[in-house]
Amino acid sequence: GHDHEGGFGSNAWAVAGTHTADKRSLLAGDGHLPLSIPSLFYSVGMDTAHLGGGDLTQVGLMIPGLPTLAVGTNGQVAWGQTQLFGDITDWYREELQLDAQGAPSASRFGGGWEPLVAVSERYEIADVALLGSVGRTEEALRWETFDGRLITEIEGIEVDAGQSPGLGQTIVSVMGQPLIPQDIDGDGIITAISFDHTGLDSGNLVVASDALGRATDVRDLQEQTQRLVAYSQNIIASDSAGDVLYTGYQAVPCRGYLPREADGSWVAGADPSMLLDGTRYGGFEIPLVDGFVDESRAGEPYQCLVPFAEYPQVVSPASGYVLTANNDPGNISTDGSLFNDPHYIGGPWLEGFRAQRIDEVLAAAVADHSADIDAMSALQGDHRSNVAALWLPVFLSAVEHARSLALGPAPDPDSSEARIVAAYLAEEARVLEVEARLEAWRGAGMPARAGIETFYQSVEPGDPEHAVATMIWNTWVGLAVQGILDDEAWPDVHRPTGDTGRTRTLERMFSGRGPGNPEGMASYNPQTQESAFFDDLNTPQIETSDEILIRALIDALELLSGPPTGDAEGGFGTDDMDAWLWGLRHLVRFESLLAEVVEEDDAFGFIVDLFSITPDTLPLAEPLGAGDPRRGLPWFPRHGDHLNVDAGNTGFGTTEFTYGSGPVFRMVIALGPDGAEGVNILPGGQSGIKDSPYWSDQAALWLGNETWPLHTTVEDVIDASTHRETLVP
C-alpha cells in the first residue's frame, strides 16, 4: 500500500497567531504511510510533571516501541514532520584485491591499496514454525573499507548455499547472497559497491527527538535540530507566542572534496546523486560536540558540513504560514538543476500537487483570518482532483481538436489526423457526453466525490455527477499514461517516486508541444512538433499526442462499459454513464500487518482477513439488498483521487483504484497563552488486540474525516477517562 510506484507523501503546515481567527497559532499534520492494522501510530499522553516529579508534559503520537513523541505538543510548542528526501547517503564504485584464498582483502584508493576491515556478525534466528523459520545461529562476514564504507555488492559468480568453493576460491555472503568473488566481465578488475551514511557516525536520535519535545518555543526547537544526524525530515512547528517554523535541518556533508565543473555540475565520478568513484573519493564523517553538530572543522574536507545558518528554514514569514508536503524546501530545483546552488542537500522532491493546493487554501484563510481548528481539519480532508486541475484542459483540448478535424477537410488517409477523426466519429455521441460531463465537473472545481451513500459519508446534491466525472477522468488519465510512457519500457528512473517522475516527464512533454521546440527537448520531432515519445512503438505508424489521448478516451469508455473483472475492478456492465460511480472503484484498504508477511501464501489469507478492518467489521450501510452495487465491496468507498491533499493515491498509469496508504493520523493543535487544544484520529484504533473495543473504533470516524479531541491537560484526561490502570514494577 505504500511504495515508490504508487507514490506517497505527507502534509504539515502551521499558521502564525497573527493570521488566525482567535490569535492562537495552528499546527496541522497528517503523515501518509501504510494504513495497516494495527495502526502505525499510538496516541499517548506523557506526564511526569504531575505524575512523577519530573518536568515532562506532552500529548501526541508515537511509533510503538520508541520512547519519544514523533508529533504532538508540550503546551508551549507543537510540531509535525514530513519526509525531506535529503541526500545523506553516498554510494561508491570500488575496486577490490583478493587474497590467496580468493577472499576480499583490500580496496584501491589514491593510487594504492588499502586493507579492508572484516567484520563478523552473529544472528540468532527465531524458531517460528508458522512462518517456516527454523531456530538457529548464523555467522555472517562483511567488509568495510579503510574509512568505514560498508560493502554491499561484489562482482562474482552467485552460488547456492552449501556449495563448496574451488581451489583458491572463497564463498562470501553479500547482503545474503552467497557468491565467489571473481572478474566476470573480463576487464581485469573486481568491482564492488559500498556506501557511507550519516547514521553510521555517532549521534543519538532518541536524545535529539526528546530535545525537540522539550523546546520552549520555535526558536529553541530550531536550535535543537542541530542534534539531528540521519534524520531527513521536514519539521513544522508553532508555539504559544504565535510564531511558526519550517526547517529541514540535519547534518549533511558539504562534499567539498567532490570537484565541480564551471557550471556547478560535478565532474565524472564525483556526482553524489549517482555512483561516486571510490578509488578517488572517500567516506565522510559527521563531527559532533556534546551531541550537537560541530561546524568548526569546515577546513577538514571530509568533516565539512552544510552550515546551519545557510540551510533552508524560516521563522514566522510575512505570509503568515509555513507548509511542507514533501516539496522542494527552498527553490533548489525549480530552475531545473540540483547542482547550481551554494549547497547540495538532496532532491529531487515530490511534484508539488499537494503543496500547491495547501498553499492556495492557506493563503485565502490567512487573508480573511478564518483559520481555526475546524478549517485546518477541513483542509486535511480536501479532495479536489489536483491532477485534473493541471491536465484536464490538455486532455479536453484533444477532443476539441478531434471535433475541428471532423468538421474540416478530410485529412490524408494515412495520417494521424485521419485516425483521430475515425476514432472520434465512431464514438462521437459518447465522446461529446464525456466532454460535457468533464466541463461541468471542471466548472464545479473538480471535486473527486465518491457518490456512494455510507454510514460515514452522504450523497450531496451534485455528487453523482461529480462521481461519474471522477471515474471517467481517472480511467482516461490512467490509460493515457500507459499509452504515452509504457511502450518505451523505461527503467525505474523516475526519482523519487514513479508519480513524480512521470509527472515531471509528462508535463515537459505536454508543454513542449509546438513549433520551435519550446522546451528544448532532446526527443523533439520537427515533423510532429512534439516529443517522439508520444509515438506508440507497438504500431508501425507514428502517433501524435492528441491521437494517443483520443485513443485512451475510447479505451476508457470501452473499459467502463464492459463487465467487471473482479470485486470493485473493471467495468460496470452498462453504457449508462450514470452507473459509473467513483466510489464503487475507489476504495481504501485497512489491511492487517500480516499481509506483508503472508502475501504470497493463499493458505494464510483467512488470517489476514481476520485481522483487517473490512465492511464485514464496519458494514457500509443497512440494509443492503441483493441488487445493491455496494453489496460485496471488499473495502470502503472514499472521496478523493490521486495526489490530492487527503491522499487517496492509486498510482499513475493504472485502472485499479483501491489504495492502502494515506493519512495515518490527522492532527490539528491550537496554541496560545492558555495552553493547547487539539484534535486527532487514527485509521483503525488505539488497540492492536482484535477483541478490544478500541481495535477499530476510530476507523469509522477516520473514513468520514471526523476527529476526536486531544486531551492536553490532566484535568481533561480525568474528565474523559473510562478507567485507570496503575503499573507496579
Peptide bond into 540 cis (omega under 30): no
What pLDDT digit, counting tens, does each position of 531-560 carry?
999 999 999 999 999 999 999 999 999 999
Which residue type does 722 have?
Answer: T
d(Cα 327, Cα 621) in Å, to the nearest integer?
39
d(Cα 646, Cα 644) in Å, to the nearest integer?
6
Q: Give pLDDT, residue 491.
A: 63
C-alpha torsion angle, residues 224, 228, 234, 237 (rounded to 10)? -20
pLDDT at residue 168 greater than cutoff 60: yes
Lowest model confidence (mean pLDDT) among 31-35, 191-195, 421-425: 31-35
Q: Give pLDDT, residue 130.
A: 81
Grid coordinates representing 619 are: 458494514
pLDDT at residue 465 greater than cutoff 80: yes
d(Cα 652, Cα 497) in Å, to the nearest integer?
11
Handedness of CA 476, 480, 483, 486 (dihedral sign): negative
Secondary structure E strands in 578-703: 587-588, 636-637, 661-663, 667-672, 675-680
Q: Which residue is listed with cell 484498504?
A: 589
Q: Which residue is listed with cell 494515412?
A: 414
pLDDT at residue 629 greater than cutoff 80: yes
Q: Give pLDDT, residue 722.
A: 86
Q: Give pLDDT, residue 512.
A: 97
Longest dimension (CA), the chain: 89
d(Cα 316, Cα 218) in Å, to the nearest integer?
9
Q: What angle do CA 164, 167, 169 make, to 5 degrees?
A: 70
Q: Which residue has the higher pLDDT, 491 or 223?
A: 223
What pLDDT digit, counting tens, does each position of 660-669 carry?
999 999 999 9
Handedness of CA 539, 543, 545, 550 (dihedral sign): negative
String of b and e for 352-365 (b: at least 16 CB within 10 Å)?
Answer: bbbbebbbebbeeb
What pLDDT digit, counting tens, does each position of 281-328 carry?
999 999 999 999 999 999 999 999 999 999 999 999 999 999 999 999
Lowest model confidence (mean pLDDT) among 367-371, 420-424, 513-517, 688-692: 688-692
d(Cα 710, Cα 676) in Å, to the nearest integer?
9
Q: Give pLDDT, residue 108.
A: 98
d(Cα 557, Cα 435) in Å, to the nearest integer?
12
C-alpha torsion angle, residues 20, 26, 32, 35 (rounded to 10)? -110
d(Cα 654, Cα 656) in Å, to the nearest integer?
6
157: number of Cβ within 10 Å: 12
Q: Give pLDDT, residue 593.
A: 87
d(Cα 376, Cα 718) in Å, to the nearest integer?
27
Closest listed residue to residue 483, CA positions, set 597, 559, 403, 408: 559
Grid coordinates representing 573 are: 456492465
Query: What's the pTM value of the predicted model, to 2 decimals?
Result: 0.94
200: number of Cβ within 10 Å: 19
pLDDT at residue 19 greater than cutoff 90: yes
Closest listed residue to residue 471, CA positions, set 384, 637, 582: 582
Q: Give pLDDT, residue 230.
A: 96
From the number of C-beta atoms within 10 Å of its C-beta (0-12, 13-18, 19+), residue 310 rates as: exposed
What pLDDT digit, counting tens, does each position of 110-128 carry?
999 999 999 998 999 999 9
Secondary structure E strands in 658-728: 661-663, 667-672, 675-680, 708-710
d(Cα 608, Cα 625) in Å, to the nearest integer?
27
Phi and psi dihedrals of 136, rounded to 5?
-170, 170
Q: Which residue has the higher pLDDT, 168 or 494?
A: 168
With beta carbons less than 8 A apart as the criterion, state whether 73 and 213 touch.
no
pLDDT at residue 191 greater than cutoff 80: yes
Most confident of 635-639, 646-650, 686-690: 635-639
Q: Which residue has the higher pLDDT, 50 or 527?
A: 527
d(Cα 179, Cα 186) in Å, to the nearest integer?
17
393: number of Cβ within 10 Å: 11
With beta carbons less than 8 A apart as the criterion, state whether 133 and 165 touch.
no
What SS3 class is residue 568? coil
d(Cα 453, Cα 568) in Å, to the nearest integer?
16
Q: Which residue has the higher pLDDT, 175 or 208?
A: 208
Q: Which residue has the higher pLDDT, 729 or 575?
A: 575
Question: Please, which residues have CB within 8 angstroms of residue 363's CB and are 6 or more apart in sequence?
Answer: 319
Mean pLDDT of the chain: 94
Band (616; pLDDT cuts 50, 70, 90): very high
Instruction: Decide the pairing of beta strands 25-30 and 667-672.
Output: antiparallel
207: number of Cβ within 10 Å: 12
Q: Give pLDDT, residue 725.
A: 83
Helices (H), 611-720: 699-703, 714-720
With beta carbons less than 8 A apart as the criterion, state whether 270 and 281 touch.
yes
pLDDT at residue 685 greater than cutoff 90: yes
What pLDDT digit, counting tens, does each position of 238-280 carry?
999 999 999 999 999 999 999 999 988 899 999 999 999 999 9
Band (71; pLDDT cuts 50, 70, 90): very high
Percent of the chain with pLDDT over 70: 97
Question: Please, which residues have CB within 8 angstroms of residue 539's CB and are 6 or more apart in sequence?
Answer: none
Q: Give pLDDT, residue 601.
A: 64
Band (181; pLDDT cuts 50, 70, 90): very high
From the number of C-beta atoms within 10 Å of its C-beta (0-12, 13-18, 19+), residue 249 rates as: buried
d(Cα 259, Cα 271) in Å, to the nearest integer?
9
Closest listed residue to residue 552, CA positions, set 534, 564, 532: 534
pLDDT at residue 648 greater than cutoff 60: yes
Question: Helices 545-561 and 428-443: crossing angle, nearest 10°?
Answer: 100
With beta carbons less than 8 A apart as the criterion, state whether 639 and 449 touch.
yes
Handedness of CA 457, 390, 12, 678 (dihedral sign): negative
DSSP 152: E
